[in-house]
Structure 1
Amino acid sequence: MKKILTKVLALSGIMVFQEVYMISSSRAETLKLTQQSPDWERLNFAHNEDERCKQSDDPFIVPAYIFSTPDRSVISSPALKLTGSYTTAPQEHRECVDQSQHRPVLFLTNREKFQYGFEDTGDGQIFVANVQHIRAGSHSHTWYVASIPVKSVTSMTFQVAMRRQPVLGVRGMHSQVRIAFDEPVILKQQFPINTNEEIRVNELIFSFQGVTKSGVEIDLTRGVDGSSLLAGGIYTTNAKLYDAFVTNSTQSMRQFSLNLPRDRMIAYIQKFINNSNYRRLSRHFGLFGSNCNSNQYYILDKVMNKFYSSLQKESSGKIVFWDPDKAYKGLKVRGLLVKEIAPHEREVGARMFLATFGISGANLVSQRSRQTFN
């Protein structure tokens, strides 16, 4: 039996290698690359990618499609069929995912750094693509490449978007991490390339989002049936304020300051970007599993695990890991919470930005008056 299993695994490995090789060769031919090309490393791809899903000539769009693992028809467990944790609706298998709103952050190759006019001096800068930014008063976002001064990180804040839900009332529905730097993050327009203008910001938002096929929104059904994929994205505060208060009718953005040492904050940034660049859009998004909140805990726990006491490790396992509404408790039992600070929308810069979209402080106060926080 052991010999048979070994042969089966070996044959499976050969088949996977052959498929990867064919996809890689096709990708290289499409992009007119050879192993000597400076962008050869851009051929990094996931198992669910195909050139037919390329939505524009922007080289940083991940040509991903919805996938099933395994096929729903061969699953015998009613529980798996119901939760969809390992599958997706058969009719949507191989449908391309929409990346107009959210994308995974990707590293720039050495040639791309040069192409955008970035100078890599080896002093701790990280160069990435697919950073989203929105200008004040504009209802359309733009994608940027960015130079992130990782070593100048000064603070981390855990944010929770409070939204009104039927029956449940106002509760935490999304979580993300806000990071501040004492040196500017430099943004340059990604596509078409424009190196004549730079935008400088001192904060970024690190957020996991669900993406699915074009024309539909992620709801309770699509959040559990495997038809959504997970994207680890980076955004400016403008982009995320717009997403929260203009697009998604968020009523308040709660904020919890975190007490990570500087080297652990740096480790968080590196881990998040490495994770996103490696996974791309190859993992399912699950509303009650791998979602915006659980993946933040995953990275925080990875970089802070050696600092946790045995009690903290035990206690963290008792808090619902996927629920943003339990963020206060989840951070507290891990020893990461300093205190809750004023909501993001009350800050002067946020108020000025939201005012350009007709959202005033009075509107927000009226919304908050109807809330009940945990």
Structure 2
Amino acid sequence: MNTSDAPPTPGPVRSLWDAVRVPGATPPLDTAHLRVYYPASPRDDDTERRTNILPADPAGAPYPVVILLSGVNVAQDAYRWLATRLAQDGLVAVTADFVGVLPGGSHGTGPGLDPASIVPGGYGHGPTTPLPGALLHALRKIAAADSATPLAGRLDLDRIALAGHSAGGTLALQSARFLPGIRAVVAYGAHLRPAAILGWPPDTLLPAHTDAPVLLIAGEHDDVIAASADRYAGSLPDPVAATFAHSLTDAAGEHMYAVVRGAGHFAITDSDDDTTARGFLETPRTDVDPAAIRAPLAALIGTFCLAHLRDDARARARLHAPADPAWHAHVRVAGRR
């Protein structure tokens, strides 16, 4: 394992594609298509020029893994910018498209909610999504020593961050404890206030199911969460802040709550697709450059993952610095636990 304090040297990033069956899903809606981003090593030979396939850089192997669960009806390509940045930081990042049945009966892509696991009596007995377990199964095959992939023998599947956006972040918070190798959890625009239609009492906050440190991130202007308040019984004014304050077990200062100034619900995505998802609920902002938000957001997420997946002393020190120049202009650390 690489525990050097030296900052990563960004190099080329390559990705590979795969597909995996998701247990419990009904055909044909039972297959997730995943993309795995990794730090690559250029070799400047005929194979590279012919196939554009590069081997994983051996210098950082075996690589910890960050699994990114998407929001509902947000395609995995919207997170390519973040996956690429994490790979430049010396991590392997995984995204996926999983088309299934959404609440209400429509079809769409998302993180794969298991409805029976989120109702009273069902919650807390296992993961609320089968998707990350399926992705881990695919990664074990990809990393097998006898596989024909560039990542054969190059993944550390005992050091995984489970991350997610919106519903994906909620399911990450609810599922991490039931999955092997989870050492960190990252959630953007997510909370643990369940919908009233599921039968929970007013103002319920579900407990998170994670034994790993959590980085919970909120956009300062999250119009999607605000516009969704009528789904929940009760009057909690800020479900994300309430989740941080009440749903996480103590982690001796390792949990972090961060607020991204000027950011909305979709600041973590790089997509102008207005034909799906719930972007129409966001108030257009002309005073904020999305790229200016994404860079410090990626720096924070990458540093958190390096600190907890690679035991990186430099990254840990940056997390606890009063003001890190990589993100403090746009990200406010609002709490620790």
TM-score, length-scaled by structure 2: 0.31
Higher share in helix = 1
